Chains A and B, each alone.
Chain A
Amino acid sequence: DIQMTQSPSSMSASVGDRVTITCRASQGISSWLAWYQQKPGKAPKLLIYAASSLQSGVPSRFSGSGSGTDFTLTISSLQPEDFATYYCQQANSFPLTFGGGTKVEIK
C-alpha cells in the first residue's frame, strides 16, 4: 500500500500569510494526487486534482505542485475562511490512501 505523509500536522498562521503544506508518497505516484479541505462537521471539499489542476469554483489563491513522491499545496494569501484541515490523497492505485491531515489554525 502507498503511504501518504503530510507535514506539518498542524500550523498557526495569520490572515494574509502564504501557507505551504507538503505531502510525500512512499512510492512514485506520478501526478495522481488530490487535495481536500475539510471544516469541522462538514464533508471534505475537493481543491486540487492531478497534483496541480484547480477544481472548478475553487479560488485561485490555492495551487498545487509536484510529481512522483513530493507534492505541495500552497495558499498564496490566507483568508479567514481557509482555516480548516487539509488532506492529500493518492489516486495512483488501490487501496487509495489519504495523508494524516494538516490543521491550519489562526495565529
Chain B
Amino acid sequence: QVQLVESGGGVVQPGGSLRLSCAASGFTFSSYGMHWVRQAPGKGLEWVAFIRYDGSNKYYADSVKGRFTISRDNSQNTLYLQMNSLRAEDTAVYYCAKDRVTVSHDGFDIWGQGTMVTVSS
C-alpha cells in the first residue's frame, strides 16, 4: 500500500545536527513533489520544506532557511532532511508528506507517522 515511513529522530544538543529519512513505497516516488511538515508539542502544523519531483527546485520556511537542507534519492525512493545548527525551537514531530498530484501541491494526500526530534542539553 501507499506508505511513507520516517526515521532518524532523536535527542540532540543545541547546535547539533540530525538527518531525517522518509522511505516511500506503493507509488511512483520519482513523480511527486515531497514536503516536510513539523508540529511542536501541543502546537499547530508548520510547513518546513519542499522538493520538486526531480530535485530541481527546493523551498524552505524562513525559520529553517540556511540551516536545513531537503534532498531526495529517487533510486532509493527516499526523502531526506538534513538539519544543522539545531535550536530548542526545532523540537517537534517531523512528518514527510506527498503532493496529491504530480503537477501541483494543492494538498498533501499521504503522510508518514512522524518522527520526534528533541533539541535539548
A87, B45: Cβ atoms closer than 8 Å: yes
B106, A50: Cβ atoms closer than 8 Å: yes
| Cα–Cα, bound, A44→B114 (Å) | 10
Given A1-B62, A43-B112: A98 and B106 interface contact (C-beta under 8 Å): no
Set of chain A residues within 8 Å of B113, measured between Cβ atoms = 43
Set of chain B residues within 8 Å of A98, measured between Cβ atoms = 44-47
Given A1-B62, A94-B50, A95-B61: A46 and B44 interface contact (C-beta under 8 Å): no
Which B88-111 residues have a C-beta within 8 angstroms of A? 95, 100, 104-109, 111
A91, B105: Cβ atoms closer than 8 Å: yes
- CB of A7 within 8 Å of the partner chain: no
CB within 8 A of B109: which of A50, A55, A96, A99?
A55
- Interface residue total, chain B, C-beta cutoff 8 A: 23
Number of CB contacts from chain A to chain B under 8 A: 61
| Cα–Cα, bound, A27→B104 (Å) | 20
B107, A97: Cβ atoms closer than 8 Å: no
- CB of A32 within 8 Å of the partner chain: yes
A46, B108: Cβ atoms closer than 8 Å: yes
| Cα–Cα, bound, A98→B44 (Å) | 8
| Cα–Cα, bound, A43→B112 (Å) | 7
CB within 8 A of A43: which of B47, B61, B114?
B114
B45, A34: Cβ atoms closer than 8 Å: no
- CB of A49 within 8 Å of the partner chain: yes
Nearest chain-A residue to B65 (Cβ)? A95
Given A100-B44, A101-B45: A95 and B107 interface contact (C-beta under 8 Å): no
Kindly provide the distance from the CB of A50 to the nearest chain B CB, expressed in whole angstroms: 5
| Cα–Cα, bound, A36→B100 (Å) | 13
Kindly provide the distance from the CB of B2 to the nearest chain A CB, expressed in whole angstroms: 12
In the complex, per-residue mask of A12-54: 1 if CB is within 8 Å of any chain B CB, else 0: 0000000000000000000010101010000111101110000
Q: What is B's interface to A at a CB cutoff of 8 Å?
A: 35, 37, 44-47, 50, 59-62, 95, 100, 104-109, 111-114
Q: What is A's interface to B at a CB cutoff of 8 Å?
A: 1, 32, 34, 36, 38, 43-46, 48-50, 55, 87, 89, 91, 94-101
